[in-house]
C-alpha cells in the first residue's frame, strides 16, 4: 500500500494493511492528516508491539515508488518460495 496523503479513511486503510501484514509506504509532507502517522510508529517503524510489518516513510514520491516496487517484488518472491 502506498499512502499519498489522506484523512481518516486513509488512516484506516494503512492500519488494515498493517494488520494484514501488507507492506506500507507513506509519502510524507503532503499537508494531510496522514503526515501524523510518523508520530504513531516506534523507532523501528512498527505501530505496535506485534511488529507485524514496518511502516516506511518517504518524502520523495519517486523514491517511494522505487521502494514499493522492491517491497512488492520481495513479497512475490517470498510467496513463490512457499508454494
The 10s digit of each residue's pLDDT in 22-37 is 999 999 999 999 999 9
Position 77 scores a pLDDT of: 85
The 10s digit of each residue's pLDDT in 65-81 is 999 999 888 888 887 87
Residues 6+ apart with CB under 8 A from 58: 25, 26, 27, 28, 64, 67
Domains held by the chain: number: 1
Read off the pLDDT band of 82 (50, 70, 90). low
What's the whole-model pTM score? 0.86
Of 73, 13, 78, the closest CA to residue 26 belongs to: 13
Mean pLDDT value across the chain: 92
Rounded to whole angstroms, the Cα distance separating 61 from 76 reads: 22
18: CATH: 3.40.50.450
Q: Which domain holds residue 7?
A: 2-82
Query: What sign results for the dihedral spanned by CA atoms 73, 21, 14, 44?
Result: negative
Position 15 scores a pLDDT of: 96
Amino acid at each position: 500500500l502506498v499512502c499519498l496523503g489522506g484523512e481518516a479513511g486513509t488512516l484506516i486503510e494503512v492500519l488494515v494493511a498493517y494488520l494484514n501484514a501488507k507492506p506500507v509506504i507513506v509519502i510524507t509532507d503532503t499537508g494531510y492528516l496522514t503526515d501524523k502517522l510518523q508520530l504513531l510508529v516506534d523507532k523501528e517503524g512498527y505501530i505496535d508491539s506485534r511488529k507485524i510489518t514496518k511502516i516506511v516513510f518517504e518524502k520523495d514520491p519517486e523514491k517511494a515508488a522505487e521502494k514499493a516496487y522492491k517491497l512488492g517484488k520481495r513479497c512475490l518472491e517470498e510467496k513463490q518460495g512457499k508454494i
